[in-house]
Chain A
Amino acid sequence: MTLVLVGLGLLVLGAVAALAAARSPRLATLLGVGGTVAGCACALVPVVGVLLGQPAGALRLEWSVPFGAFVLGLDGLSALFLLPILTLSALAALYGGEYLGAFRGRAVPARAWPFFALLVAGMTLVVLARNGVLFLLAWEVMSLAAYFLVVLEDEDRAVREAGWTYLVATHLGTAFLLVMFVVLGSQAGSLDFARLGATGALATPLAGVVFVLAMIGFGTKAGFMPLHVWLPEAHPAAPSHVSAVMSGVMIKMGIYGLLRTLTFLGPPPAWWGFTLVAVGLTSGVLGVLFALAQHDLKRLLAYHSVENIGIIALGIGVGLLGVHFGSAPLAVLGFAGALLHVVNHALFKGLLFLGAGAVLHATGTREMDQLGGLLKRMPWTGTLFLVGAAAICGLPPLNGFASEFLVFLGAYRGVLHPASGVAGPALAVLAGLALIGGLAAACFAKVFGVVFLGEPRSAHVAPAHDPGLAMRLPMAALAAGCVLIGLAPALLVGRMGGALESLARLSRAALESPLALAVAPLAWITAGAVVLLALAGALALWRLQRLVRRPPGEEHTWDCGYELPTARMQYTASSFARPLTLLFGGLLRTRTTRVAPVGPFPRQAALATETPDVFGDALFRPAFRVAAGALARLRWLQHGRVQLYVLYILLTLVVLLVWKLR
């Protein structure tokens, strides 16, 4: 526990030092990166210790805040979330040191590092906090630090708007959390998590209210559809290493909050499970469909975060149904799948955002239809991106497959359950996961194929080259993580006992046999992966030996006899996804503007498609317009006269005094 505190201290120290050194961007970068990496490394030691079976740590300090107490705890659940937070943040910081170098001569790096270190510290504290006030405070530090990182390039109007959307969304979410903690606290008489959990059985309707508040409040952060609207705006606007941290771990704080809240509430009723399955299906399927329709690389990745949050929600839904219907294997498989996917998504989405950052860094554009043929110019970035792309599609032998396997297995087990309340949702989960998997594969075939393969589609590509070691190394480390967990997922799942105990509501002894049911097939997955790799390796050696004897010839691509193919004849991102976006056109509402070619020798022809967020356009924009109209009536209160503002303060004080004296 001490080391965690030291780590937190180093993070805050790094933030302050970087702020103090704002004059020299180089020094600020050095201090910011150094503080973040050192802090993360320090805090990682006890986290790994807890995962390896050391007793959970706890700490309590006096704190003179009403209802607040500085209570920290490090249990299995916290450790499982801290593992990706600290790892990815340290790697992203390392990467950011070089990445922000592109902004040399401007104040950007000096402004970035204090907030980056604070974001990491905020997330760490969110996961450690064991008191409502402390939790909300850490939550706010995290959210605000992320806001300042999103608007780092604030000379761009689109960036400012994205930041504004994010700020409004996160605070609306926090408002629901505030109400939730008030409801919980008023029942328990304290905001300490230990007390909240101990009272256990909340009255049924009240528990339902808390669940709904948590789903909205935490769901906004996590990006459950339709509360996800800020995600595709904010992620592309932020610098890539910040996008990686936000998408890889910050949105998971919503998942953490939801899981932690579930441990406060009594046994879950069935409709909680149904709700999560429904939310998961919506987020998963619509998330990947909207991703397919995008041609901005980072926006596409942001929609994929919505999809993966959907998969996590499906896992939690299966787990909750398992708890409700008293099936321990179902509960363990669902929650274990969700938790493993939390870690996995941090690894591959972090990797993909860092890779996208390297592409942006090298070419200056995020528009996929301008790219192509980058694998030859950026072999490192391309190869590592391919690992991430295959992992996010859930292909063996990588980590995405392992976590989706657990959720699949849970759902198949649910199909066997006699109660139709389990079998029905389980079938929906199966169909949904299969569709999501197929569409995700289509989407990443498009991304990798269009960005890295084929011929360059514009002059942006010509000067591209791999980034330096400081940017390559973090990507390589994340890719190695994807491969490692993919080959041996049982290593991590076997350590999840501490987290699963409280979620699945089982004692340590009762957990053993259902956990073994989850771990045993994972050992077979390892065996399958070894067979696969051995076969591929053997085939590669065989062909190598053949081709050494007969060196292969080189030609241009066979285009059915056409001798002068140009890069413009290639399929683009939009044309590749066109059959699918047409098929689901009713959901996507893609806007097409076209200038049709006229006459036998057409001079002009153009086609542009845009797929804006349906929920943002049809739901939130009108709602906010109405709200803004209503609130404009209160404008007279705010007129800019300081004297009258002082009068407001005075009046408030008098009212409070009278109320107290009464």
Chain B
Amino acid sequence: MSPLSALPPLCALLLAPLLPGIVTRTRCRLTGRQGPPLLQGYFDLGKLLAKGAVYSRTTTGVFRAGPLVGLAAVATAAAVVPFGAAPAPLAFPGDLVLLCGLLALMRFATVLAALDTGSAFEGMGASREVQFAALAEPALVLGLAVVVRGTGSLSLSGAFAALTPAVWTHEGAALVLVLGTLFVVYLTENARVPVDDPNTHLELTMIHEVMVLDHGGPDLGLIHYAAALKLWVLGALLIGIALPVQGLAPWAALVVSLAGMPALAVLVGVVETVMARLKLVRVPQLLVGATALAVLALVLVLRG
């Protein structure tokens, strides 16, 4: 394991809370508002982690374990996805399956914690979350299959190392389609517009936010941090495909990738500004469409 491989998780753990701030700032600026400072994510974390907690009498240990398991899972996932030209510390054939498994574990913990409160609203959010996740999973798995086939490597770190500009010239069309698939998965998994609106104020229409209604204090801090980490980890996946930094010096690769992450956050902010969220019954169509894009990309790489 090269010492460089400490970089991907380190960057994720330190810089992740920036991303939601950038998304919010973009939204605010585009709608003519000032917006909170970019570092607001860190301030919120500091405030929440210092608070005490209140628990519902209905809840059990499952509710208390939810945020811990969720954060542990996504932090482990941060050790699977490479960043810049640096390989991830957990890099092995099939590590992409571990990534999917860890995200599923995070979701399972959140959903069970929501159901533990016995609240109708949280049950509603949990029910929607599992529905969309079940449809997003094939899209993610097939999207990664394109990357595997295009680069000939079974591990994310290996695949990104093999993803040279030459691969882009050869398989460009397929990779663009896959980026489309993965971007939809990115928005879905992170509960963003057009699937979910993190800023909505009506519990009936929420998905992710309504599941964590009952969490407060340090638990809510952990949940916010985990959400930011997820935004970063899956973003690193997109950036790794979109910006082939192989062949650059390690520091240059890192700079390019680090510049890519805020750019992605700005893109998410733009999407949130120009689009309304979809009706709930339309979301499955969006996800099936994303899967179809991945299948199309697979046809292209299999033919080549």
Contact A405 B97 (CB under 8 A): yes
Query: Whole-angstrom distance between the alpha carbons of A471 and B92 in the complex?
Result: 41
Q: Which residues of B contact A448 (CB under 8 A)?
A: 112, 115
Query: Whole-angstrom distance between the alpha carbons of A435 and B135 in the complex?
Result: 7
Tell me the B252-287 residues at the A interface (CB within 8 Å).
280, 284
Convert B72-89 into 0s and 1s, putting 1 for each residue whose CB lies closer than 8 angstroms to a CB of A. Answer: 110110011000000000
A428 to chain B, nearest CB (A): 10
Contact B76 A580 (CB under 8 A): no
A396 at the interface (CB under 8 A from B): yes
Tally of contact residues, A, Cβ under 8 A: 82
Contact A412 B52 (CB under 8 A): no
Convert B123-145 into 0s and 1s, putting 1 for each residue whose CB lies closer than 8 angstroms to a CB of A. Answer: 11011101101111110111001
Contact A396 B298 (CB under 8 A): no
Contact A555 B57 (CB under 8 A): yes
A290 to chain B, nearest CB (A): 15
Q: Which residues of B contact A583 (CB under 8 A)?
A: 131, 284
Q: Which residues of A contact B112 (CB under 8 A)?
A: 386, 445, 448-449, 453
A472 at the interface (CB under 8 A from B): no
A375 at the interface (CB under 8 A from B): yes
Tell me the A278-298 residues at the B interface (CB within 8 Å).
none
Tell me the A70-99 residues at the B interface (CB within 8 Å).
none
Query: Whole-angstrom distance between the alpha carbons of A538 and B164 in the complex?
Result: 39
B289 at the interface (CB under 8 A from A): no
Tell which of A395, A404, A416, A554 has the most Cβ of chain B within 10 Å: A395
Majority SS at the chain B contact face: helix
Query: Whole-angstrom distance between the alpha carbons of A401 and B57 in the complex?
Result: 33
Tell which of B49, B73, B92, B148 has the most Cβ of chain A within 10 Å: B92
Q: A375-B62, A437-B104, A539-B72 are in contact. Are A553 and B54 (CB under 8 A)?
A: yes
Tell me the B280-304 residues at the A interface (CB within 8 Å).
280, 284, 291, 295, 298, 302
Tell me the B111-163 residues at the A interface (CB within 8 Å).
111-112, 115-121, 123-124, 126-128, 130-131, 133-138, 140-142, 145, 148-149, 152, 154
Q: Closest residue to B102 on the A side, CB-wise?
A: A396
Contact A416 B118 (CB under 8 A): no
A455 at the interface (CB under 8 A from B): yes
Convert A500-539 into 0s and 1s, putting 1 for each residue whose CB lies closer than 8 angstroms to a CB of B. Answer: 0000000000000000010011001101100111011001
Choose one: B54, B58, B69; the contact of A455 (CB below 8 Å): B58
Contact A449 B115 (CB under 8 A): yes
Contact B76 A557 (CB under 8 A): no
Convert A542-559 into 0s and 1s, putting 1 for each residue whose CB lies closer than 8 angstroms to a CB of B. Answer: 010011001111111111
Contact B134 A552 (CB under 8 A): no
Choose one: B90, B126, B152, B217; the contact of A449 (CB below 8 Å): B126
B291 to chain A, nearest CB (A): 7
Contact A395 B104 (CB under 8 A): yes
A420 at the interface (CB under 8 A from B): yes
A441 at the interface (CB under 8 A from B): yes
Choose one: B49, B90, B121; the contact of A531 (CB below 8 Å): B90
Q: Which residues of B contact A553 (CB under 8 A)?
A: 52-55
Q: Which residues of A contact B173 (CB under 8 A)?
A: none
Q: Which residues of B contact A559 (CB under 8 A)?
A: 119-121
B203 at the interface (CB under 8 A from A): yes
Q: Which residues of B contact A540 (CB under 8 A)?
A: 65, 68
Convert A424-444 into 0s and 1s, putting 1 for each residue whose CB lies closer than 8 angstroms to a CB of B. Answer: 100100110111011101100
Convert A309-336 into 0s and 1s, putting 1 for each residue whose CB lies closer than 8 angstroms to a CB of B. Answer: 0000000000000000000000000000
Contact B154 A409 (CB under 8 A): yes
B34 at the interface (CB under 8 A from A): no
B12 at the interface (CB under 8 A from A): no
Interface contacts beyond A393-B108, A416-B149, A434-B100: sample of 9 additional A-B pairs, CB < 8 Å, sorted by A: A409-B154, A412-B145, A441-B134, A449-B116, A554-B54, A557-B119, A559-B120, A570-B118, A579-B128
The 5 closest A-B pairs by CB, nearest first: A571-B123, A449-B115, A438-B134, A454-B118, A442-B130
Query: Taking beta carbons and an 8 Å cutoff, which residues of A are in contact with B?
Result: 372-373, 375-376, 382, 386, 390, 393-396, 401, 404-405, 408-409, 412-413, 415-416, 420, 423-424, 427, 430-431, 433-435, 437-439, 441-442, 445-446, 448-450, 453-455, 517, 520-521, 524-525, 527-528, 531-533, 535-536, 539-540, 543, 546-547, 550-560, 565, 567, 569-571, 575-580, 583
